[in-house]
Amino acid sequence: MQFLLAFAVAVPLLGAVAALLPAPPGLKGRNPDQAVLRHGVTVTGAVLAAAIALALGFDHDAPSRFQATTDISWIPALDIRIHLGIDGISLPLLLMTALLFFLCAVYSYFKLPEGPSPKAFVSLLLVLESGTLATFAVLDLLLFFLAFEMVLIPMYFLIARWGGAQRQAAAWKFILYTLLGSVVMLLGLLLIGLNSGTFDMVALASDNGRGLSHTTQILAVLAIGLGLAVKTPMWPLHSWLPDAHTAAPTVGSVLLAGVMLKMGTYGFVRILLPITPEGMHTFAPYLGAFAAVGIVYGSLACLALARKGNKGDLKRLIAYSSVGHMGFVLLGIASLTPTGVNGALFANIAHGLITGLLFFLVGALKDRYGSSDLDTLAGVTGAALYGRAPRLGALLAFAAVASLGLPGLAGFWGEMLALFGAFDPAEGLSRPAFLTYMAVGAFGTLLTAAYLLVVVRRVCMGDPKAGPEVSLADVQHYEFAAWTPLVALTVLAGLWPATLLGLTDPAVQKLLAGGNA
């Protein structure tokens, strides 16, 4: 188990170096470009196998205990250690990350985005995977920061070199926003480490803020929370996200929404809740207010983009929907209750699966029609996917109803539990305020249903014979391979939520109790 976790984190980095080296004579094949793409599939597949083995070997009777741990001294003078481990909170995120990278590698093998060398593309993809997996596995504050920052450069180049229109501006906006937020976050992490005498996240969580003054906790939450809020992203720090998603290649959008946004909310749960409980208690009402506004703002922005004549880009619309969905995650965290935090963690996984599928589908639509502009796709009679490409239309409708929170699918449970957490927040928080946030969030679910149903009607319905003749390929074999696991897991998580909640709940209970439960 210890070896498997270290393997999963380190192998993508080694694979990234290997991708840039000349291929051995026996592995070059007839097409060197396909050989390096096959290398990407192999490495991400090995990491996914290691993650599945970790899940199978995980002691499900003790999900609150860190398992598969590695603890090696790295920089003794600063007491920085290479400390890795997983519990019921991080294991689902680790599995989802490994799965999404593997599916993106498979998809890219058959549909590589236009851009420079495939070697560089595969190498950047693997560096990105190593950084995201490390973020969910490390248990040292400074290592967490290094892993958190490690993903920025690969994603910048994936957008800037393999993206679409306005890719340079979007890439610069992405990296400037996230870097500025990270600088402030580093100050907060140093403040905690220097005042408590350790950067070890397990020891700090067990101490539960007792070694930090109230003022120190307030400053730490303000600094770290700002950096995490940019990555989440929380309204009003979200403006980099729609541009980045619109310009990014398909796999870049899938990974940005499915994995990278989770790094911000994971930091709230792993660092701020257990280490600075007093500071979080002070800021929880404000976090809840920003979350509630973000839910409605994201939905209203999507409604505006979905209206006829507004030239709304489907990728941009789904990006704004992420602002609303992550608002539910933040609302659950702000409640400071086991119900709310479990809902936030469930919504994290559900959003990664469903929005990853949505970006895959929109990328496929753009490849077929040459545009993801909603007015172009709708045209005179609509893209009429039900008639022209029924499987693609059915998948788009499925992803849309999953995203709007249809009971029985994964999107329902996280949002419902987050609202329940706001209905009865932690002791000391203003219940009238959180009831207001709950009502605003519930209204946001109605707006979400409205814009997603408008999108389905405009893109999927229409008379395929009335408009110009369009030769439209239905779902291809490689698309079926990349999308089926996401559909299956969305249904599985929706029908058997206890599979995930059984992992997260004991770990959340212990985390909120300061390591004593």
Percent of the chain with pLDDT over 70: 95
Task: Write out the DSSP string of 221-265.
Answer: HHHHHHHHHHHTTPTTS-THHHHHHHHS-HHHHHHIIIIIHHHHH
At 506-515, the pLDDT tens digits run 999 988 886 5
Classified as helix, coil or strand, 491 is helix
Report the pLDDT averaged over residues 406-416.
Answer: 91
Give residue 517's pLDDT: 47
Using CB atoms within 10 Å of the CB of residue 65, give its burial: 0 to 12 exposed, 13 to 18 middle, 19+ buried. middle
Q: Are the C-beta atoms of 159 and 174 separated by less than 8 Å? A: yes
Tokens coding 218: 């307030």
At 368-404, the pLDDT tens digits run 877 788 877 776 556 677 878 889 889 999 999 999 8
Work out the number of other CB atoms within 10 angstroms of the CB of residue 22.
Answer: 8
At 146-189, the pLDDT tens digits run 998 889 899 999 998 888 778 888 889 888 888 888 889 999 99
**DSSP-derived secondary structure letter, 140:** B
Q: Are the C-beta atoms of 160 and 175 separated by less than 8 Å? A: no
CA distances from 10 to 13, 93, 296, 405, 418 (A): 5, 17, 40, 36, 35
CA distances from 335 to 288, 412, 421 (A): 7, 18, 6
Tokens coding 293: 């506004």
Q: Are the C-beta atoms of 474 and 389 separated by less than 8 Å? A: yes
With a cut of 80, say whether residue 311 has pLDDT above it: no
